[in-house]
Chain A
Amino acid sequence: MSKIEPPPAGPVPFERELSLKLLGDMLRIRRLEEKAAQLYGEGKIRGFLHLYIGEEAVATGALHALDGEDNVVATYREHGHALVRGVPMQSIMAEMYGKREGCSRGRGGSMHLFDARTRLFGGNAIVGGGLPLAVGLALADALQRRQRVTACFFGEGAMAEGAFHESLNLAALWKLPVLFCCENNLYAMGTAIERSESQTDLCTKAAAYGVPTASVDGQDVVAVHEATRDAQREVRAGRGPFFVEYRTYRFRAHSMFDPELYRDKREIEAWKARGPLHTFSARLKAEGKLTEEEFLDLDRKVGAEVDQAVAFAESGAWEPVEDLARDLYAEETPRGT
């Protein structure tokens, strides 16, 4: 069990509106996923389901530091990213149900949430698979002289993949506007970082490619937001890619199939003391920016949104099997050829 930092504390240097937005989005992720876990148990959601519970501050703080026109590439643990980015909760839920009304028309499920409107390019379930894609999205922007940033989320496990190294090299070599967002939750599925990385200081690895780096407490939405805001400013200014490590922890198992034999329950409990939600709401309360009643009211609203999302998914339609082969080619080719 590695040394665990004290819980996030101190003043919240944001306007009340932003503070409540951050809190609200973290809560939306939490409640959506608690519901998803329950629905998984009921057999409504199938396949792989990777929960982000415990890591909510990362997607929330980081994505609120971006522009609406920016690109986002995420992993298979991306419910939070989709939600914060602006994909309606009901579209996410319907996708998990496998319904036609889902944001990927039932073709993707939990791991492959896509949304053209908010420029969410997945939902990539190959570890490291999104990094080259992000480099290319940034290249397209550079070629078209757009001031857009491409935020690419991946776990520390991806840093053992060749795709990480090739992508950082290429992005740095061509000075492309990629914000590499490493969600270091300490475990690549069940393999602890010390057992998979010869260099556990992740910023050192990124810096080897001449990429500027920052490492922040990923449980502290304030730190996440500020670090991302500063990093994206550098990227947007045309100074090339930037690497941010968010030190975080997932409170739940890797997926619904994981018996968690590889980590100590005390470690999980210690990290829960650093939970992003209760530590942030406590700070807001201490500053007089939030009352317990306001929190409960917010939670009720989020609960209603979750209920509405479930109702929407339940009442959704199944894609007709006749449409099995749609969306394969730009121009559909006749069947059987």
Chain B
Amino acid sequence: MSRLSYREGMRQALREALAADPRVFIMGEDVGRYGGTYAVTKGLLEEFGPERVRDTPLSELAFVGAGVGAALGGVLPIVEVMTVNFSLLALDQIVNNAALYRHMSGGQFSVPMVIRMATGAGRQVAAQHSHSFENWYASIPGIRVLAPGTVQDARDMLAPALACGDPVVIFEHANLYNMESEVPEARSADIRSAAVLREGSAVSLIAYGGTVPKALQAAEQLAAEGVQAEMIDLRVLRPLDMATVLASVRKCRRAVVVDETWRTGSLAAEVVARIAEEAFYDLDAPPARVCTEEVPIPYARHLEEAALPQPEKIVAAVRAVLGAEA
């Protein structure tokens, strides 16, 4: 076991990827000399040189598209888009090229690449820097979408993502970078399954990315009250591992889905719909969602906190589906 931060885990994964395969390179805004906006790539320029750790201009459309082209050309790009907010400028290349090329070419071409981006709110950086659009990306056939919510996944998901042969979008919640935990030395290569982070039988608590620590915190508080929640970390947002989710829901018979995207059309909406379609008769109560309030994320701390999923809201939602007084 070693103790690592989420940031260090991701950096270690990047360093190992660069060391393992000469075709791998990193590009993005301020990934080199600056050391990465969130300091994830710090030290990599010095270690691997400017050809493989490339600072780009502020041209999300061009450098993400160049990543797609480079992948088509036989190298393995890891493109860092500073945040999901700026990925909107590159959306065309992700949606219309990265995701479509294999299918639209009748299987002749593939786009093996990783696009990393920070996501989420909670740091008082106001509406334009606080988006969560994991649900948008997770709705697109042809790409894989990962959301590491633990330090181990921050370290372990990159290598299988690079190896899988598909375009993979990895969402890193900006509030997780400083999170630390003990992680085993052995690597996991799983980018297919949801994970059961905590076993229980009273309610399935389903979260991903930045809401994982919040849901775990809620689960601990509930445990202190004698309610054993089963905590599912989705981890893989496309394709969703519904088998793990449904097995838990069938056991617990109640479900609360936590998601930092806006409620309407959220990933939580998809998960709840799938539960309703496939496990309706196993349920003892309607499934519930804890999502972000449908407002632009405000700057003021108390307003921002009120807008986002919080452990107290999750606890309240669990109590409600258990039929207990809130």
Contacts and interface: CB of A to CB of B under 8 A. Distances in A.
Contact of B106 (A105, A121, A136, A337): A105
A114 interface: yes
Contact of A140 (B69, B103, B104): B69
Contact of A121 (B57, B64, B72): B72
B66 interface: yes
A114 B106 contact: yes
B103 A121 contact: no
Contact of B65 (A116, A123, A136): A136
A305 interface: no
B73 A173 contact: no
A108 B73 contact: no
B110 A330 contact: yes
A143 B75 contact: yes
Nearest to A152: B69
16 contacts: A104-B108, A108-B105, A133-B65, A135-B65, A136-B67, A136-B68, A137-B72, A139-B75, A140-B71, A166-B57, A167-B62, A169-B62, A325-B141, A330-B110, A333-B239, A337-B239
A108 B106 contact: yes
Interface string A124-141: 101001011111111111
A105 B105 CA distance: 7
Contacts of A123: 104
Given A129-B93, A132-B65, A137 B70 contact: yes
Task: Name the residue among B59, B65, B67 with the largest chain A CB count within 10 angstroms.
Answer: B65
A105 B103 CA distance: 9
B78 to A, nearest CB: 13
B62 A71 contact: no
A163 B92 CA distance: 10
Given A139-B69, A143-B51, A166 B106 contact: no
Interface in B214-243: 239-243
A170 interface: yes
A267 B107 CA distance: 43
Contact of B73 (A139, A167, A330): A139
Interface in B160-199: 164-166
A103 B65 contact: no
Nearest 10 Cβ contacts at the A-B interface: A136-B69, A132-B65, A140-B73, A105-B106, A330-B165, A166-B62, A114-B105, A136-B66, A327-B107, A133-B69
B287 interface: no
Interface in B67-97: 67-75, 77, 92-93, 96-97
A107 B104 contact: yes
Contacts of B75: 139-140, 143-144
A25 to B, nearest CB: 23
Interface in A110-161: 112, 114-116, 121-124, 126, 129, 131-141, 143-144, 150
A106 B112 CA distance: 23
A33 B104 CA distance: 22
Interface of A is mostly: mixed
A326 interface: yes
Given A137-B72, A143-B75, A170-B59, A132 B66 contact: yes
Nearest to B67: A136
A329 interface: yes
Contacts of A138: 69, 73
Nearest to B163: A330
Interface in B117-165: 141-142, 144, 164-165
A167 B240 CA distance: 35
Contact of B69 (A103, A105, A115, A137): A137
B62 A104 contact: no
Contact of B109 (A121, A129, A329): A121
Contacts of B63: 132, 170
Contacts, number: 159
B25 A143 contact: yes
Contacts of A106: 106
A337 B72 contact: no
Task: Name the residue among B23, B66, B71, B239 with the largest chain A CB count within 10 angstroms.
Answer: B66
Contacts of B64: 132
Contacts of B51: 143
B69 to A, nearest CB: 2
A131 B57 CA distance: 16
Given A163-B61, A329-B142, A330-B164, A143 B106 contact: no
A167 B25 CA distance: 19
A144 B67 CA distance: 15
Contacts of B42: none
B164 A170 contact: no
A337 B241 contact: yes
B102 interface: yes
A114 B104 contact: yes
A261 interface: no
Nearest to B56: A170
Nearest to B95: A126
Given A132-B63, A140-B69, 6 more contacts: A102-B106, A114-B108, A121-B72, A122-B104, A138-B73, A163-B61
Task: Name the residue among A116, A132, A137, A337 with the largest chain B CB count within 10 angstroms.
Answer: A132
Interface in A306-332: 325-331
Contact of A170 (B23, B66, B77): B66
Contacts of A337: 239-243
B67 to A, nearest CB: 6
Task: Name the residue among B101, B102, B104 with the largest chain A CB count within 10 angstroms.
Answer: B104
Contacts of B65: 129, 131-133, 135-136, 163, 167
Interface in A162-185: 162-163, 166-167, 169-170, 173
Given A108-B105, A136-B67, A141 B61 contact: no
